[in-house]
Amino acid sequence: MLLLLVNYLILKLENRFNRAMLIIRSILATIEFLILFFYYCLEAFILMFFCLQKNVAGKIVLVTGSANGIGREISINLARLGSILILWDIDEEGNCETAELAKANGALAVYTYKCDLRKREEIYAVAEQVKREVGDVDILINNAGVLKGKTFLDLLDSDMEETLEVNTTAHFWTCKAFLPAMIAHNEGHLVSIVSDTALAGGNKLTDYAASKAAAFGFLESLAFEMRAAGKKGIKTTIVCPYYVDTELVTGVQTTRPFLLPIFDVGYVGKKIVDGILKEKLYVVMPPYARFILLKIFLPEKAVFLFAEYFGFFNNLDHFRGEVQRGQATKDSVGILPLDNWYV
């Protein structure tokens, strides 16, 4: 009887001790977290003034949607830094123009490939061709995108499928194709040109905002996955610009130009490359658009008031519709031969 009682008391003491240890460990972990958190914030603040930049000279950079708009500007800016460029687009003519511009601006070499990003098998086939003909990709920039600008019920099923294929799932397939080599060398950089609509939706943007939010979640999760696997050498950058003056958004208007201006595409191209060189995790344009995320703390009426004030109901009222560029038939493979390169 006495033995049972002693055993019971020991067990109870042991439980209490374990619980106390658990609490102490948790408190210590929180203190460590707070110290590191403030240290990293301070470090980031100091590095804003003395930031070392990545050297991209001689690096192999793949840009999707390079034939026009933001993709072309990114390519030209990287060309100035002496990168080797691989340009993917469905629009062959535009892509050749970008290649000429990149070459004229100092690219070490430029390779163009026709690739329809709606098609997984084509992405894999062109990726294999790139690895054979050029080598492993150091920086992958998923930029290509489409915008339908229709209300949810006006969108055809095929519209929604295309938006998700080009703006989101293409990122899965390109990363799947090029990430293994990056992991093997513990070096590489994945970049996604997303949009502010990943942070807040808008009228006539159901498919587009969904595709961008998905692309955001995809790359952020992949970043965490790389960290969890100890692959600190693999960087990620998620770019969220507000509207930019490209053909993608012809006719789109901003209600508050002083707060949310429509950006010049040249400026956006420079800012994106600057973010890549500084290995930023997020590039948000304008930077204070990050505060949009605070919407989840607001009451319903305030959220709708906010959306109306910033024009999220009417931005696309005068949208002139999608640009059709080099649309391939669903079956064409469309890989350009190697003689379409510019060294």
Ligand X SMILES: NC(=O)c1ccc[n+]([C@@H]2O[C@H](COP(=O)([O-])OP(=O)(O)OC[C@H]3O[C@@H](n4cnc5c(N)ncnc54)[C@H](O)[C@@H]3O)[C@@H](O)[C@H]2O)c1
Annotated catalytic residue: which of 8, 113, 124, 208?
208
Q: Which of 61, 63, 85, 94 binds ligand X (CB under 6 A)?
A: 94
Considering only 16-24, 88-96, 221-229, 334-342, which stretch makes contact with ligand X by CB under 6 A? 88-96
Considering only 144-152, 217-225, 227-235, 334-342, which stretch makes contact with ligand X by CB under 6 A? 144-152
Tell me the per-residue interface mask from 104 to 133 with ligand X, x by CB under 6 A, - otherwise. -----------xxxx---------------
With 0-12 / 13-18 / 19 or more C-beta atoms within 10 angstroms meaning exposed / middle / buried, residue 101 is: middle
Considering only 50-58, 69-77, 217-225, 306-314, which stretch makes contact with ligand X by CB under 6 A? 69-77
195 binding ligand X? (CB under 6 A): yes
Q: What are the structure tokens assigned to 93, written together?
A: 């003519």
Give the Å distances, CA to CA, from 144 to 35, 48, 174, 251. 41, 30, 12, 20
Q: From the CA atom positions of the chain, what is the Rg in Å?
A: 24
Alpha helices per DSSP H over the chain: 2-47, 69-80, 92-104, 120-133, 157-164, 170-185, 206-228, 265-277, 300-309
Tell me the per-residue interface mask from 207 to 236 with ligand X, x by CB under 6 A, - otherwise. ------------------------------
CA-wise closest residue to 146 among 116, 186, 104: 116
CA-wise closest residue to 84 among 65, 64, 56, 104: 56
- Count CB neighbours of 316 within 10 A: 24
Three-state DSSP class for 23?
helix
Give the nearest distance from C-beta 166 to ligand X in angstroms: 5
247 binding ligand X? (CB under 6 A): yes
Nearer to ligand X, 84 or 144 (CB): 144
146 binding ligand X? (CB under 6 A): yes
277 binding ligand X? (CB under 6 A): no
DSSP assignment of 274-323 equals HHHHTT-SEEEESGGGGGGGGGGGS-HHHHHHHHHHTTTTTTTTT---PP
Three-state DSSP class for 27?
helix
Nearer to ligand X, 87 or 107 (CB): 87
What does the alpha-carbon distance between residue 189 and residue 319 come to, in Å, rounded to a whole number? 34
309 catalytically annotated: no
62 binding ligand X? (CB under 6 A): no
166 binding ligand X? (CB under 6 A): yes
Give the nearest distance from C-beta 15 to ligand X in angstroms: 56
Give the nearest distance from C-beta 259 to ligand X in angstroms: 16
Considering only 1-9, 28-36, 104-112, 243-251, which stretch makes contact with ligand X by CB under 6 A? 243-251
Give the nearest distance from C-beta 131 to ligand X in angstroms: 19
Q: Which of 145, 149, 311, 334 binds ligand X (CB under 6 A)?
A: 145
Q: In sequence order, what are the beta bridge partners of 283? A: 239
Q: Which of 75, 237, 246, 315 binds ligand X (CB under 6 A)?
A: 246
190 binding ligand X? (CB under 6 A): no
What does the alpha-carbon distance between residue 56 and residue 237 come to, in Å, rounded to a whole number? 15
Catalytic site positions: 208
Q: Point out which residues bind ligand X (CB under 6 A).
A: 65, 67-71, 89-91, 94, 115-118, 143-146, 166, 193, 195, 241, 243-244, 246-249, 323, 325
